[in-house]
Structure 1
Amino acid sequence: MADWSPIAKVYDPLKAGSIDGTDVEPHDRAVWRAMGARYKPNKGVVGDPLLTLFVSRLNPQTTEDKLHKVFSKYGDIQRLRLVRDIVTGFSKGYAFIEYKEERSVVRARRDANKLVVDQHEVFVDFEQERTLKGWVPRRLGGGLGGKKESGQLRFGGRDRPFRKPINLGVDPVQERGGGGGVGGGREWDRPGGRNREDRDRHRTAEWGNRGRRDDRDRGREWDDRRHGDRSRHRDRR
């Protein structure tokens, strides 16, 4: 718990696919793909990754000029790249903005997140491809985002941080409500008490005895009815 953080410091597809980073086995195909991916950052990308922002959820109609106008108020922009489809030329809805100064990056990340640009609320964070060790993009099953219906819910990022584990350092007996104090919890849950197998045998025997008692009661009732019918028949004669 001492080194726990809601934001991932090293990218692990298995942990990113877990709401609290405690999963030990892959639970969907995307996690398997990301774990098996051998991804290396694009060498053709230029600029300082520590001065670069990632901007996503853009309106498809948003242009480079509009982005430059909006984000230049946080500082001087060194480089801006709106990612477009190589075939159609249409915007893919995300961009990278490199500033000249570190304070400009910090300010833009703080103030521009959830800013509405062309009727779209944008998401802003530091670039992770070249700064987060082990990073795997979403197209290979990784990333830190996604939707539940797409099967790629990912955690550990600014938009969806890890939830703090609730079962760390909790004794299983206390978690079930045993307590361990005087009168705390059921006999089955107390240390030294009867175990689960004994409890199951006890319940089975209890139900069996109850069934036999019910059968005996029904037998007595049937006998009483028969004797009653005979008595009424003799009275009629």
Structure 2
Amino acid sequence: MADWSPIAKVYDPLKAGSIDGTDVEPHDRAVWRAMVARYKPNKGVVGDPLLTLFVARLNPQTTEDKLHKVFSKYGDIQRLRLVRDIVTGFSKGYAFIEYKEERSVVRARRDANKLVVDQHEVFVDFEQERTLKGWVPRRLGGGLGGKKESGQLRFGGRDRPFRKPINLGVDPGQDWGGGGGRERDRQGARVREDRDRHRAETLEHTHTNDSC
């Protein structure tokens, strides 16, 4: 429990799929996809990841000029990249914005999240791909956040941090994400034993009645 943090320090799809990071089995197919994904950050990306924002849920019609106009009010922009389809050239609905100063990044992250741009409420967060080890993007079943309607909630981010798990008497030196799972395994084993015992007794009783 000493190492517990509401914000993910290393990305683990299984923990991200759990409200408190203690799940031992994936609860949706997207978590499975993220667990088996062999994703590696794009080495061709340039710029300082600590000064870069991720902007998503953009209107497909939003242009680089519009983004620059909206986000430049938070500080001087060093670099802006609206991600487009390599074949069609259409916007994929997300962009990366690198500022010149850290205070500009913090201000934009705080004030621009849920800002309406071209009739779309945008999502703004710090870049995760190059700053969070093990990161898997949402298109592969990973990510942090998400909507309840999709059934793919992800935790460990600033908008949806982990809830502090209940201390079930695990060893203090044990990893915070695994204690609850071992306790549930023991409880599950006892339940299965009781169920099997009840089933055996029922079969024995049925066999005795048939013999009579």
TM over 0.5: yes
Distance 2:203 2:135 in 1: 86
C-alpha displacement at 1:178, in angstroms?
A: 26
> 8 Å contact 1:180–1:191 — kept in the other structure?
no
C-alpha displacement at 1:180, in angstroms?
A: 23
The 1:4/1:196 distance shift into structure 2, 3 A limit, reads closer
Distance 1:236 1:127 in 2: 71
The 1:173/1:106 distance shift into structure 2, 3 A limit, reads closer
> 8 Å contact 1:187–1:193 — kept in the other structure?
no
Distance 1:231 1:62 in 2: 71
Q: Which residue of 1 aligns with 2:174?
A: 174
The CA deviation string for residues 52-78 of structure 1, in whole angstroms up to 9 with x for no partner, is 000111111111111100111111101
> 8 Å contact 1:41–1:129 — kept in the other structure?
yes
Q: Higher relative contact order by CA 8 Å / sep ≥ 6: 1 or 2?
A: 2
Aligned CA RMSD, in angstroms, stands at 10.3
Distance 2:211 2:195 in 1: 56
The CA deviation string for residues 174-214 of structure 1, in whole angstroms up to 9 with x for no partner, is 99999999xxxx99999999999999999xxxxxxxxxxxx
Distance 1:176 1:109 in 2: 29
Q: Which residue of 1 aligns with 2:17?
A: 17
Moved more, 22-31 or 157-166: 157-166
Distance 2:87 2:189 in 1: 70
Choose the corresponding residue for 1:230, options 194, 202, 205. 205
Aligned with 1:190: secondary structure? helix
The CA deviation string for residues 9-43 of structure 1, in whole angstroms up to 9 with x for no partner, is 11001001111111012222222221222211001
Distance 1:36 1:64 in 2: 34
Aligned with 2:162: secondary structure? coil
The 1:84/1:3 distance shift into structure 2, 3 A limit, reads same
The 1:6/1:200 distance shift into structure 2, 3 A limit, reads same
TM-score, normalising length: structure 1? 0.67
Distance 1:6 1:103 in 2: 23
> 8 Å contact 2:136–2:143 — kept in the other structure?
yes
Aligned with 1:172: secondary structure? coil
Moved more, 93-102 or 82-91: 82-91
C-alpha displacement at 1:7, in angstroms?
A: 1.6
The 1:59/1:170 distance shift into structure 2, 3 A limit, reads same
> 8 Å contact 1:113–1:123 — kept in the other structure?
yes
The 1:199/1:29 distance shift into structure 2, 3 A limit, reads closer
Q: Which runs of 5+ in 2 are unaligned?
A: none
C-alpha displacement at 1:6, in angstroms?
A: 2.0
Q: Which residue of 2 aligns with 1:71?
A: 71
TM-score, normalising length: structure 2? 0.75
The CA deviation string for residues 153-172 of structure 1, in whole angstroms up to 9 with x for no partner, is 21111232222324656999
Larger Rg: 1
